[in-house]
Chains A and B, each alone.
Chain A
Amino acid sequence: MTTTTLGPTTTDRTPRVPAAAAARRPFPLVRHSAALTKRSLIKTWRTPEALIDVTLQPIIFLAIFATIFGNAVAGSTEDYLQFLLPGILGQTIAMGAIAIGVNLNTDMEKGIFDRFKSLPIPRSAPLLGAVLGDVVRYVIVAVVTIATGYAMGFRIATSPLEAVAGCLLAVLFAVCLSWVSVWVGMVVRTSGAVQGVMFLLVMPLSFGSNVFVQTDDLPTWMQGFVDVNPLTHLVDSMRGLFLGLPVGDHVWWTLAWCVGLVAVFMPLALRAYRRKV
């Protein structure tokens, strides 16, 4: 290294933006979160291997489950695929929400969070930025799942608008569910444990639901759980919106779950985050 004189070479004492001026700019939380969302997106772009759970996973799940269960459950792979695809989309998107807690748990150990805390920004901005940055991952799940489905013979029976609405509902659900993951990421000590805990939560949700078979075909004792399971409501909403089946009040139940998850787990996550300083 050449040891030339580094650092400020000019007398530069321009005062920093005074607090008052900064406060005059509106919506600091929104703007700071947006800047931190961009950070998240850059990180995702730099580490494409971290997208395996939202790219390869839906492809493999669709292929495996449609082939294995197709004949047994619905008589043919084609018929089963129509039924299965919204389920796999719901399951994969829920699993996609696990990663954020794992990543934040690792991230918190690094100095970057000290830097964020020493800046005059809302404390919650780094978490909000991370959650919003993951929207892109959920959109990838939806696109990959539907594209793979189309290649395998799945067809949307309604309009593109309804199909998009179904996908957006799934993305919204994943964003809300990710607050659970963020909270676990804040309270559990190691990233491996975050993964373990979240798997224990998401597995019963995805298998104790109507993802693979109709609720009526499940054991009676299980049906009570399946009926309140948010994933059941999400998947039924998507089946309705993709296939033109009756939607009933499933969309409302899904939205209610979204509100509930955020209302409970976002404050818990933010509190745990502040404590973790």
Chain B
Amino acid sequence: MTTDLVIEAEGLVKHYGETKALQGVDLVVPRGTVLGVLGPNGAGKTTTVRILSTLLDPDAGTARINGLDVVRDAEKVRHMIGLTGQYASVDEDLTGRQNLVLFGTLLELGRAGARARAAELLEWFDLADAADRPAKTYSGGMRRRLDLAASLVGRPDVIFLDEPTTGLDPAKREAMWDVVRSLVTDGSTVLLTTQYLEEADALADEITVVDHGRVIAHDTPDGLKRIVGGQTLEVRPADPSRLPETAQILSQVSTGAAADEIRKGMLAVPVAGDAALTETVARLGAAGIAVTELSLHLPSLDEVFFSLTGHTADDGSATGPDATSKEVAA
């Protein structure tokens, strides 16, 4: 194979009555890489995943997985893909093990093969202790892990993860990120949808930004960050009377703009990278300024959208996770 593209989509269109879910989405994912599809609720992320995973036929456009058309060769495509939906797609009345054995049986692993594979996955995903409890008793994080395990039963080449960490707390999100990284090390190709630039940055080789059923940007995480302007450093001094002093220090580490009081007692400046954090800590320490909050984060989806389109993402819920990157308690 010359150009080893595992996922190729051209001009995907899908309308639901008046709602134009997709209005011509193109994307490509080379073998062994992760594509992050970033966008707010209703941007068309899930519709795209449903088309690529053969659940839905497009109204127009084509999509291929390993060169096979998702409509005409749907049956063959289903042998190659694993899908983890936005909502846990396992049977809640069955135990974790029964779920995985069921999918193994349906994937023709045979009775012994399905059992062995289930045991292996339960071990990998730290679910061995809960394996024989009904899935409805699982916590949110455990359900996500079981769901992801279920999509890996058939050792798929291509894995679709539709908002795998929505609703998970930061610690569990990080654990899920580790899983995704290990999948790629393992040779799989992953398409991941997310509302968080943070997440796309942590996992994806390339990011496609979608809005209103269209692709509005496609770049590497670094490229995208250059477009949207690096990171933001936020500091809250313990003593509000020292705000002006703190602001002055921050202006010195900033990439240009002066420190801005974004919330009461909270200052923010754009910075170039992680080095600014160490620098700030050192300077604040030297000046003897105690802080109660100090964090560095990537722009939220709103900020990304503002940079790319000049307007904010329509959906108010589509804001980034609050400072999950590097929180320092001072």
Q: Is chain B found bound to chain A in the same assembly?
A: yes
Give A residues with C-beta under 8 Å from B.
1-9, 11-19, 21-22, 25, 31-32, 35-36, 38-39, 42-43, 46-47, 110-121, 125, 277
A111 to B50 Cα, complex, angstroms = 12
Cβ 8 A contact of A12, one of B76, B92, B186: B186
A22 to B145 Cα, complex, angstroms = 27
Binds A, one of B77-85, B282-290, B322-330: B77-85
Contacts of B73-96 to chain A: CB distance below 8 A: 75-76, 78-83, 85-94
Contacts of B142-181 to chain A: CB distance below 8 A: 145, 147, 150-152, 154-156, 171-172, 174-175, 178-179
* Nearest A residue to B78, CB-CB: A120
Question: Which B residues touch A25, using CB under 8 A?
Answer: 108
Q: Tell me how far the C-beta of A102 lies from the nearest C-beta in chain B, rounded to whole angstroms.
A: 15
Q: Are A32 and B85 in contact (CB under 8 A)?
A: no
Cβ 8 A contact of A118, one of B54, B141, B145, B174: B54
Q: Are A16 and B172 in contact (CB under 8 A)?
A: no
Q: Are B155 and A15 in contact (CB under 8 A)?
A: yes
Q: Are A7 and B182 in contact (CB under 8 A)?
A: yes
Q: Are B93 and A118 in contact (CB under 8 A)?
A: no
Question: Which A residues touch B178, using CB under 8 A?
Answer: 3, 5-7
Binds A, one of B18-26, B98-106, B235-243: B98-106
Q: Are A46 and B145 in contact (CB under 8 A)?
A: no
Q: A111-B85, A111-B87, A114-B83 are in contact. Are A39 and B94 (CB under 8 A)?
A: yes
Question: Which B residues touch A16, using CB under 8 A?
Answer: 79-80, 107, 154-156
Question: Which B residues touch A113, using CB under 8 A?
Answer: 89
Q: Tell me how far the C-beta of B297 lies from the nearest C-beta in chain A, rounded to whole angstroms.
A: 20
- A15-B155, A22-B79, A116-B106 given; name 7 further pairs at CB < 8 Å: A3-B178, A12-B186, A16-B155, A114-B55, A114-B89, A118-B54, A118-B83
Q: Tell me how far the C-beta of B98 lies from the nearest C-beta in chain A, rounded to whole angstroms.
A: 6
Cβ 8 A contact of A277, one of B56, B93, B174: B56
A12 to B92 Cα, complex, angstroms = 28
**A-B CB proximity, top 5 nearest:** A111-B89, A7-B182, A120-B78, A7-B179, A115-B89
Q: Give the size category of B's interface with A.
A: 35 or more
Question: Which B residues touch A21, using CB under 8 A?
Answer: 108
A111 to B79 Cα, complex, angstroms = 19
Question: Which A residues touch B55, using CB under 8 A?
Answer: 114, 117-118, 277
A9 to B93 Cα, complex, angstroms = 29
Q: A3-B175, A112-B89 are in contact. Are A118 and B78 (CB under 8 A)?
A: yes
Question: Which B residues touch A32, using CB under 8 A?
Answer: 105-106
Q: List 13 A-B contacts (CB under 8 A).
A: A3-B172, A5-B178, A8-B152, A13-B186, A17-B109, A31-B105, A35-B102, A35-B105, A39-B94, A43-B91, A115-B89, A115-B151, A118-B53
Which interface residue of A7, A18, A46, A114 has the most chain B CB atoms within 10 A?
A: A7
A118 to B54 Cα, complex, angstroms = 7
Question: Which A residues touch B174, using CB under 8 A?
Answer: 3
Q: Are A115 and B134 in contact (CB under 8 A)?
A: no
| B126 at interface, CB cutoff 8 A | yes
| B183 at interface, CB cutoff 8 A | yes
| B306 at interface, CB cutoff 8 A | no
A277 to B86 Cα, complex, angstroms = 16
Q: Are A6 and B107 in contact (CB under 8 A)?
A: no
Q: Are A120 and B79 in contact (CB under 8 A)?
A: yes
Cβ 8 A contact of A119, one of B78, B98, B182: B78
Q: Are A6 and B124 in contact (CB under 8 A)?
A: yes
A125 to B102 Cα, complex, angstroms = 13
Q: Are A12 and B93 in contact (CB under 8 A)?
A: no
Question: Which B residues touch A47, using CB under 8 A?
Answer: 93
Q: Are A42 and B98 in contact (CB under 8 A)?
A: yes
Cβ 8 A contact of A46, one of B76, B93, B152, B156: B93
Question: Which A residues touch B155, using CB under 8 A?
Answer: 12-16
A194 to B213 Cα, complex, angstroms = 34
| B187 at interface, CB cutoff 8 A | yes
Which interface residue of A16, A31, A42 has the most chain B CB atoms within 10 A?
A: A16
Question: Which A residues touch B171, using CB under 8 A?
Answer: 1, 3
A58 to B98 Cα, complex, angstroms = 32
A117 to B45 Cα, complex, angstroms = 19
Q: Are B78 and A43 in contact (CB under 8 A)?
A: no
Q: Are B186 and A119 in contact (CB under 8 A)?
A: no
Q: Are B93 and A43 in contact (CB under 8 A)?
A: yes
Q: Are B93 and A1 in contact (CB under 8 A)?
A: no
Question: Which A residues touch B50, using CB under 8 A?
Answer: 114
Question: Which A residues touch B151, using CB under 8 A?
Answer: 115
Q: Tell me how far the C-beta of B137 lies from the nearest C-beta in chain A, rounded to whole angstroms.
A: 11
Question: Which B residues touch A43, using CB under 8 A?
Answer: 91, 93-94
Q: Are A119 and B94 in contact (CB under 8 A)?
A: no
Question: Which A residues touch B90, using CB under 8 A?
Answer: 111-112, 115
